[in-house]
Amino acid sequence: MTLLECRNIHKTYGHGVATVPAVRGVDMQLERGETLGLVGESGCGKTTLGRVIVGLNAPTSGKVVFDGEDVSGRLHEPEFRRRVQMVFQHPQSSLNPRFRVSTTLREPAILLTSMRNEELGQQIEQTLRLVGLGIEYQTKKPKQLSGGQLQRVAIARALMSSPDLIVLDEPTSSLDQSIRSRIIALLKDIQERRQVSYLFISHDLSTVRKIAHRVAVMYLGRIVEVSETEALFNDPQHPYTQALLSAVPSIDPGDRSERIILRGETPSPTALPVGCSFQDRCELVHARCGVEAPLLQETGPARHVECFAVQ
Amino acid sequence: MRLFEVEALTVGITGSPFPILREVSFYVEPGEVLALVGESGSGKTMTALAAMGLLPFGIEMTGGDVRLEGDSLVRTGGTVERSAAQMSMIFQHPTSALNPTMRVGHQVGRVIQINQRLGRTQSLEAAVELLKHVGIPGAKRVARNFPHQLSGGMCQRVMIAMAVACQPRLLIADEPTTALDVTVQAQIFDLIKSLVSEIGCGVLFITHDLGAVAEMADRVAVMYGGQVMEESPVRDLLAKPRHPYTRYLLESVVREVDHRVEDIGVDFALTGCRFGHRCPYVHEKCNGFPPLVEISPSRRVSCFLRTEELR
Ligand SMILES: Nc1ncnc2c1ncn2[C@@H]1O[C@H](COP(=O)(O)OP(=O)(O)OP(=O)(O)O)[C@@H](O)[C@H]1O
Ligand SMILES: Nc1ncnc2c1ncn2[C@@H]1O[C@H](COP(=O)(O)OP(=O)(O)OP(=O)(O)O)[C@@H](O)[C@H]1O
Ligand code: SF4
Ligand code: SF4
Ligand SMILES: [Mg+2]
Ligand SMILES: [Mg+2]
């Protein structure tokens, strides 16, 4: 069953000559109990899309449909806020610096659920343990925590209100491998038990591969490829996806030979070329790409690619 | 002469008898990249902040020495004094390290103005150049933006630009590419490497990504629980980890570790080896503090196992 649907979302920042089209027509669905990985170059609009979905930014145009209802402007409704949570990219600026960890975790649960006090205390302890922090962390303030500890507090906070959808924006970027695996296992376990859906934004492709059912690749405000995870990693079709997947550093020196180095630089979102926005950097560019912008088209089962050379 | 040396650095909460960092020692040669790795909460950021003289309120250095090009930077009362031209740092939390009320071009420009003694307009131009260099599309426009108008990865690159603009003797980079995709990451690594070869500076590179270590670093120091466990050339460490914790760390990359094991961080009140509670080789001797001992000309290990046993 579809839980979330984005219909032709646009989000433009600023006015006049200085407008930045951060998201440029994104369509996407997320099923109940599904994880969609969202990857793509820094600045391509992932966070912006996430913020639009949870209602923190209004889309310039387009619609977000959650559980069958248009949810624009629902942010102040407690039930919507309980059901949709976001883990922010920079936990140190999204957590209240004056709150102890226990207060940070208690707040959403008190506001948004009917949990009683002692139940709440237990829930806080349990959630902290699940993210690998002992109960002694309850009394700490954000300043007293390391980068990875903060990140785990942010994840714990999102879990407190038993949401149906969590947008996780780079949730494991400051975590080492073993804690990261543990968080992934935890998220999967919760998903199995409660059918929660995740939009998992990350630069870390190996983590995305482990957690996502499907992956969407973004470039300059548009989804250029979306596919089931293994199909995408085994056979990337869009030229940008191919370059992205080839650049992962590895401990094995033998692995480093086949890297595709992208030529040129990403165009500024304020000065996009006519036609395909990847044309200046694309190996497969041909005449049509400079005239007409490609659209997402089905190229296989559950697979869409936005490129003339593939369609 | 060694470019940078930290010797027996001990840091703790003011008034607490239990140090967070315990006798941390490592060094960086000119033109060398030393990676500092270790799990979340192991003390990497704290080590960097102590070396920079930027420990937060309530945390103090109680022992040890920090030397740059042979001169001790520690002043009476345990404070460290250094200039931006001596050491500069890329912080783990980009949003909190940038000034939210100042356009990013000016922030970078000011650093250039001070360190390279250029005029105001010239500095601003140089800042835009540098923003281009760290791969920010539309650098000229972005220079006029405030930090909140930038994506996570763009903020991180602005900070990298500022640190690089100082042309320091030692660059400290605390998880510099966590918010960047792999293609931009590769570009940043190249930038850091070319800075090293151009001006012969050293780099202390903090990360939890062993792929990045293999790619960037010459040597590596492994931390656990506020202690340096092993210091070694990268290739030797990856091929033959000696310390029990290093072995565990490398194993967690190649195989899935058991997440059910309750692993709730380190007890800083331990007087013995802080890896003792997880170490498969723990024995009576481990109740004492294991010093960092040279086991071969280029390797140091902090463990009570005999040299033969570490082989
Ligand atoms: N408040 C804002 N005002 C103006 N421009 C903004 C604002 N927030 C984001 N932008 C711009 O929108 C674009 C997309 O930013 P966004 O934060 O969504 O990127 P991202 O994909 O999350 O990148 P990253 O991986 O670096 O976090 C960027 O060019 C950014 O400069
Ligand atoms: N101001 C503080 N007061 C008390 N404890 C602190 C303070 N700052 C950090 N700590 C503790 O010191 C330890 C080391 O923290 P540090 O930030 O150096 O970790 P780190 O290795 O950088 O971890 P990460 O990879 O998660 O960033 C952590 O256990 C943390 O909880
Ligand atoms: S449409 Fe053309 S320029 Fe764009 S990705 Fe495909 S081949 Fe390359
Ligand atoms: S000193 Fe003892 S506990 Fe520590 S790593 Fe060595 S054997 Fe293990
Ligand atoms: Mg982002
Ligand atoms: Mg840190």
CA nearest ligand 3 atom 6, residue: A307
**pLDDT of the residue at B260:** 46
Give dist(CA A116, CA A123) in Å, integer: 10
A56 to chain B, closest Cα gap in Å:
14
Query: How far apart are the CA of A1 and the nearest CA of chain B, in angstroms?
Result: 31
- Ligand lying nearest the CA atom of residue B137: 1
B258, pLDDT greater than 70: no
Of residues B141, B183, B213, nearest to A244 (C-beta): B183
Ligand 2 atom closest to Cα of residue B226? 14
CA A221-A225-A230 angle, to 5 degrees, is 135
Distance from CA of A173 to the nearest CA of B (A): 5
Instruction: Note whether B180 contacts A: Cβ–Cβ < 8 A.
Output: yes
Q: Which pLDDT belongs to residue B97?
A: 82
Q: What is the pLDDT of residues A185-234, one digit of tens each?
A: 999 999 999 999 999 999 999 999 999 999 999 999 999 999 999 999 99
A-to-B residue pairs, Cβ atoms closer than 8 angstroms: 159
CB B131 within 8 Å of CB B105:
yes
* pTM of this structure: 0.91
Contacts of B308 (CB under 8 A, 6+ apart): none
Q: Are A106 and A96 in contact (CB under 8 A)?
A: no
- Give contacts of B259 with chain A, Cβ < 8 Å: 181-182, 185-186
For the CA atoms of chain A, what is the radius of gyration? 20
CB B94 within 8 A of CB B156: yes
pLDDT band at A156 (very low <50, low <70, confident <90, very high): very high
% of chain B with per-residue pLDDT over 90: 66
Judge contact between A219 and A49, C-beta under 8 A: no
Query: Which residue is associated with the tokens 């070396």?
Result: B51
Which member of B141, B185, B257 has the closest CB to residue A178? B257
The predicted complex's ipTM stands at: 0.85
Per-residue model confidence (pLDDT) at position B301: 95
- Residue numbers of A between 2 and 31 with CB closer than 8 Å to B: 13, 18
Q: Do A13 and B138 touch (CB under 8 A)?
A: no
The answer to which of A243-257, A274-288, B146-160 has the lowest mean pLDDT is: A243-257
Query: How many A from CA of A219 to the centre of ligand 3?
Result: 12
pLDDT at A207: 93
Average pLDDT over residues B258-277: 71
**Contact map slice: A 133-152 vs B, CB within 8 A:** 133-134, 143, 146-149, 152
How many angstroms away from the CA of B138 is the closest CA of chain A?
5
Q: Which residues of A touch B241 (CB under 8 A)?
A: none
C-beta of A309 in contact with ligand 3 (< 6 A) = yes
CA B76, B81, B83 angle in degrees (round to 5)? 165
What is the spatial distance between Cα A135 and Cα B115, in angstroms, rounded to a whole number? Answer: 46
* Chain B touched by A244 (CB under 8 Å): yes
Residue-wise pLDDT for B163-187, tens only, equals 999 899 999 999 998 888 887 888 8
Q: What is the mean pLDDT of chain B?
A: 90
Contacts A267 to B, Cβ<8 Å: 137-138
Residues A208, A46: contact at Cβ < 8 Å?
Answer: no
* pLDDT tens per residue across span B129-139: 999 989 898 99
Dist. CA B193–CA A55, nearest whole Å = 42
Q: Residues A1-52: pLDDT tens digits? A: 899 999 999 999 988 777 899 999 999 999 999 999 999 988 999 999 999 9
C-alpha–C-alpha distance, residues A164 and A203, integer Å:
24
Interface of B with A in 227-246 (CB under 8 A): 238
Q: Give the 3-state secondary structure of residue B5.
A: strand
Does the pLDDT of residue A181 top 70, yes or no? yes
Q: Which two tokens stand for residue B194?
A: 């070319």
pLDDT band, residue B266 (cuts 50/70/90)? confident
Smallest-distance ligand from the CA of B275: 4
